[in-house]
Structure 1
């Protein structure tokens, strides 16, 4: 049976036990009952601040900023790295804004008098819910429906919820067999400022500024409506019971055997980077919400559910992972994880089905938190319970936002990347101002943090380490997602209208950032490698240096994209393209350095923290698509060996991807055993694992681990970034099957995986060996299929399956060289 369900036999006592629902705009964490069911609500557009947040002081004149950069560059060249960092602190702005918790809906379900065997519900064992037995709580990933069921006073009660995409409404149904029905009560609450409260609506004021926890976490409100958003959360219902008189506290009814509760959220957000709605107030948000609820109620639960199952199923069903193991029959997924970790061979050796479940869960989380028309997945997707949240639950652009989307193209969820593409368009506008103000540069620049308003400046309040705050290269990394979309088959207007301007702008900024070095090459200075440090000649810790490897490979990557895209679009005469062609041969290619490892800075100083979680200097191996060659592959492997396996959840996912690219299934297996650890054990430090609801741990929770895992498994099964040179057909796309199949997953199959050029791939394996594969494409093309050290060329015809003929091959163990 497919691994599509998370199951629990008790209600959630903690947010990390609750189950997530979402439609890309509205998120809900479902705690379950039985007496009172909590639904913690988020709205993807509910952020602090406004576009004016980036306009707050400090401001820099062009001359001031140039002087700071020049001074830092001079000090770096003189080896005075600490002094350079102190200078760079003067360039720091404030902070990005924060993704907010929005509201809570509480639904009481207590047996009405006369439902218990004794004729009343006194003596309840569950806060008034009567005698409770047979409790279960579940999330069906394939249907995106959360269900709580139990027996109360001897009769069944069932509460079911789903997040409708169109219209954006949380739909909760309550059904019971209790003869006298249930006493239902609905109330709303919010951690935000409540301007007006009725039994069915909260009108809210959102903060004008929320500082990160590391800067004090202050939450500020302003009377100036241009500096923040307003919002509303509204609820309505229908039921077959007796309505109680309405109050400001909430809604109540008795004798209910069937009810449907409709909940929605709304803010005065207009568009990414745009001003709040000109006439937007909490009252207008409430009116919009009320209209949406009326539409949902008119449509009816049955029609909404059918539409929801179609909408979600079209995305969820595009790819599948199947591991041929006995179906799990337990009742508590958290206990399942604990038992698997108690196995001496590791969690997946004990329970391989967990790998399938987490793969399905990761794709579910991306669908739920990032849909067309919504906002991108934050550090926590679309779910956040804290004010302020860890790291503001923002868009962290030096790895985490990008990792959220690494699995989208390979697993058929390209549509879910649309909010990311929209954010990139916003950042081109705000980042153009930052590029000019800070660097006097063309194009657009983004630093370490961003938000729904397109924040693009270096953060830090003048007091934090440039190791993470000074990094203007995020735009160059972000446009790789546009490039990957093209490589996976995105075509038509996307290349000219969306990819070209973004890549051209990123390239123009990169060209203006480059400085000529004494040997005539070009590089970057001052330069950092995200969040990492090195040891100076005097044995001190430093972060500001010259030409980090990531800087160099990102610049080379973007300039190469630009030249290739210009050729495809007939834009070779563009002046930025000419500059790119002139600069490319002058950019050093970082290679092996100290102890055979990839240099993290071109000068190759000693690492300060050898086991640092970031492995940014290995970008060419992944997410880059460079053909490394044996020497550089060995250097990447040596770097990973030196870094060690232990790390945060997202770093483990990145290392899985890198080991997959190196075709090292045993190393992947070791990393998976760490990734599937339960977080019930406090291991201290930055040690990743899974919480009871299978959210990934940084720690604390960050969704990039869950989403990066999806990309990692896909990369173990299928790679398509290499080119095969055919004697007959010239350069053709190479598709490699099972390059790094983990030994703990010896039997299974996958369908709907995507390869570059838009090819759809299905495959099966038995006892760790390829057992079958088929390919389909929308265009006529020749591909080269690799398994182990054998290659077979296939001619794909449009919209028809081509089955790989295994008979000419001696089937080696998957992943063999």
Structure 2
């Protein structure tokens, strides 16, 4: 199809020249703790590389090594108690209601199964303790970790990768002189009763996951270790491979389990493990390295961020984090953005499991919060960057999980509540449990389905894929059906509410003490209204269920509306309970601002101001993932300076050498390897902050594509590529300097009206600036519009200070260009 081009010429004297950037994590000493090691992953396999010359350690993961076996945790007796708890809540007896819920509605001892480590690969190298000229780095351009050092005049290099194409872990050892490669390699595991043995020239490690919470583990796993060398001598004996005097060596590790899907563990782990290994060893290393890099770069190169030259390249990455607040290290922000996208590419490939609480990287049998899928923020946050930063295919594992829990959740909805549709409470695992876990204080939250469906709807908004919408519409409809049938009129307010429920993990002061159980929580209302609206819109697009759509739109009007409390805040509960000194990590009642879209400066200015008041009172420092969320929220507030302040809070160094897991109350930050610190490590903060950076640059949720809506003054110049927008538009390139847009290229993938919002006044033939609207001080030069090929362009000033709208009719694959 022929491309039409509309040139929007920005008359400026300055241009942006951004040299090609190479982002990496770089260090001048080995890792001492796990949160200093460098993460590699191909979604199925993960490795943490320590870079220790004498005894190299790679901590290893395989995505399906979880405790337990196929199971369900729906409480079969809860149906008879649910209404009793509801009555107590409506009567204001919150303490009694919460106790009853703990005793009769929860899932007892089954709170979900933990994700578990496989173990370690150790490469012991005698005589290398006196190393010098050391460096290690992780290339974010190639997904390869490198360790280099010198011993007795010989330069040694180790190159590690988790091959996307061969599906094994590889470590290549080379030296500047022949015959210098000597080492012992072995596998080990913290799992009990593993069998480690030499098997011909290879080494195998076999085991089965343990019993957890009275549920016997039945995931069988096998790992295999092999080495190929050039020259020298190789022997495998007693579970150790010994290499002596080689010119070069490649170490291979293959891991597999008997997991097939959440309801089937009949796979042959040994056959799969051997097949992966045989194929990898038959392939040429350099050839596979090229295909590995090419596969990775097809995702990585779609979006890049440059915020100026690298002024602190002499500092290691951990030093850069430590000094970030002082240095305003813009290059580190670009690195952090790249690292967030890197982590999603490496932990969520199509056909695999979704990124869990730690992505795919976990060194424990009992990790914090079991490294499960926490569905009241953390799982969803993992996928916030997926659409906007051009990684849409990586949603595949999340969409598969949504299909799974819509099936298991339908059984839970019927068993526990006697209603149709499907339910997901605040946690699930590889077995796709959907019942409430832990205590009622956190677990009695049942709107995980509507939240996950937002990702389905957003995928449609970003891509315009009607076939996808048709496929997932029944799942969206099922989530809406569940909450529709669960809604009940609150006798105290007259509004429809979900009761009992919680505002995730936060306390309210009613009933002579702090409790969680309530009714009509603001987040529930926002999620229910959203799923009703999404199903109604989807039904109209697909030409189905007109009566049902009309019902949902009417039911949405009967929900508790957003309410402004006594100190100007957006109320978290139906009652005006909010404490202005509350600094809780969850800001669930602001869901409608982000990631939702119901709170807007244009459509709901009073609620928008109230949300700002709530956000200010919650404060900035918090757990790492909470600060990532707040970057997104302040970006939606169009406040780039405050969003950047949260990035500075996020990029504060947290050191596990001095932080005891679970005992230290220190606020969150970032570890030396750029992992997010809750503390301990949770990967959602990395993804949340990455999405927040994108939101500062481009927004597309409020009826237009808003260019540079929330850039801070320290980002004086920059360039971003590959940002995706709702409506099927891609910002192929957006560059600015001194706050002025110098170049912007927008591609329409499906055609339709392109509405651009800018902060510049407009001058041009037949176009006049609206009276009383002044330009943002950052934009000092007016924009001139030129039209070609009879394309229609019109200016639509709206009631939003310092902004203007341009409407452009586009066709599929049309490019709209702004250039200097």
2:264 to 272, 275, 278: 275
Output aligned runs, 1:487-498, within 5 Å: 487-497=461-471
1:27 to 46, 54, 68: 46
1:208 & 1:500 partners in 2: Cα distance?
A: 38
User: How much has 1:578 moved relative to structure 2?
Assistant: 5.1
**Aligned equivalent of 1:633:** 608
Answering whether residue 534 of structure 2 is matched by residue 561 of structure 1, we say yes
User: How much has 1:26 moved relative to structure 2?
Assistant: 0.3
User: How much has 1:686 moved relative to structure 2?
Assistant: 5.1
**Aligned equivalent of 1:595:** 567
User: How much has 1:576 moved relative to structure 2?
Assistant: 4.5
Answering whether residue 623 of structure 2 is matched by residue 607 of structure 1, we say no
**Aligned equivalent of 2:25:** 6
**Aligned equivalent of 1:709:** 689
**Aligned equivalent of 1:366:** 344
SS at 1:508 equivalent: helix
Paired residues of 1:236 and 1:261 also in contact (CA < 8 A): yes
| Deviations, residues 621-648 of structure 1 (Å, cap 9, x unaligned) | 1111225321011011001011111211
**Aligned equivalent of 1:105:** 121
2:443 & 2:98 partners in 1: Cα distance?
A: 11
Answering whether residue 46 of structure 2 is matched by residue 66 of structure 1, we say no
SS at 2:235 equivalent: coil
2:676 to 689, 696, 703: 696
**Aligned equivalent of 1:432:** 410
1:235 to 225, 230, 241: 225
| Deviations, residues 260-293 of structure 1 (Å, cap 9, x unaligned) | 112111001001x22211xx4xxx4123211211
**Aligned equivalent of 1:776:** 747
Where do 5+ consecutive residues of structure 1 fail to align?
A: 111-127, 212-219, 724-733, 807-817
**Aligned equivalent of 1:767:** 738
**Aligned equivalent of 1:83:** 96
Stretch deviating more after TM superposition (374-383 or 618-627)? 618-627
1:19 & 1:437 partners in 2: Cα distance?
A: 45
User: How much has 1:250 moved relative to structure 2?
Assistant: 1.0
SS at 1:427 equivalent: helix
Where do 5+ consecutive residues of structure 2 fail to align?
A: 1-19, 760-802
Output the TM-score relative to the length of structure 1: 0.88
1:245 & 1:88 partners in 2: Cα distance?
A: 61
2:579 & 2:516 partners in 1: Cα distance?
A: 10
**Aligned equivalent of 2:209:** 207
SS at 1:150 equivalent: strand
Paired residues of 1:508 and 1:576 also in contact (CA < 8 A): no
Paired residues of 2:94 and 2:511 also in contact (CA < 8 A): no
1:335 & 1:780 partners in 2: Cα distance?
A: 47
1:208 & 1:180 partners in 2: Cα distance?
A: 43
| Deviations, residues 386-420 of structure 1 (Å, cap 9, x unaligned) | 12001101100000000000011000001111100
1:59 & 1:584 partners in 2: Cα distance?
A: 29
**Aligned equivalent of 1:474:** 448
**Aligned equivalent of 1:122:** none
**Aligned equivalent of 1:48:** 67
**Aligned equivalent of 2:723:** 753
1:236 to 1:680, Cα distance in 2 relative to 1, 3 A: closer
SS at 2:805 equivalent: strand
Stretch deviating more after TM superposition (40-49 or 783-792)? 783-792
2:350 & 2:581 partners in 1: Cα distance?
A: 40
User: How much has 1:14 moved relative to structure 2?
Assistant: 0.7
**Aligned equivalent of 2:764:** none
| Deviations, residues 691-743 of structure 1 (Å, cap 9, x unaligned) | 111111111111101111110000000000112xxxxxxxxxx1101111022
| Deviations, residues 112-160 of structure 1 (Å, cap 9, x unaligned) | xxxxxxxxxxxxxxxx216311111000011000001111211111110
1:586 & 1:338 partners in 2: Cα distance?
A: 51
Count the aligned residue pairs.
Answer: 742
1:675 to 650, 653, 661: 650
Paired residues of 2:178 and 2:246 also in contact (CA < 8 A): no
**Aligned equivalent of 2:629:** 654
1:492 & 1:293 partners in 2: Cα distance?
A: 40
1:642 to 1:357, Cα distance in 2 relative to 1, 3 A: same
Stretch deviating more after TM superposition (601-610 or 442-451)? 601-610
1:564 to 1:492, Cα distance in 2 relative to 1, 3 A: closer
Stretch deviating more after TM superposition (402-411 or 173-182)? 173-182
Output the TM-score relative to the length of structure 2: 0.88
User: How much has 1:805 moved relative to structure 2?
Assistant: 6.8
User: How much has 1:676 moved relative to structure 2?
Assistant: 0.9
Paired residues of 2:599 and 2:608 also in contact (CA < 8 A): no
1:152 to 1:178, Cα distance in 2 relative to 1, 3 A: farther
1:438 to 1:322, Cα distance in 2 relative to 1, 3 A: same
**Aligned equivalent of 1:288:** 272
Paired residues of 2:75 and 2:105 also in contact (CA < 8 A): no
Paired residues of 1:201 and 1:232 also in contact (CA < 8 A): no
The RMSD of aligned alpha carbons is 1.9
Paired residues of 2:79 and 2:415 also in contact (CA < 8 A): no
Answering whether residue 294 of structure 2 is matched by residue 320 of structure 1, we say no
1:443 & 1:494 partners in 2: Cα distance?
A: 20
1:665 to 637, 640, 645: 640
User: How much has 1:784 moved relative to structure 2?
Assistant: 1.7
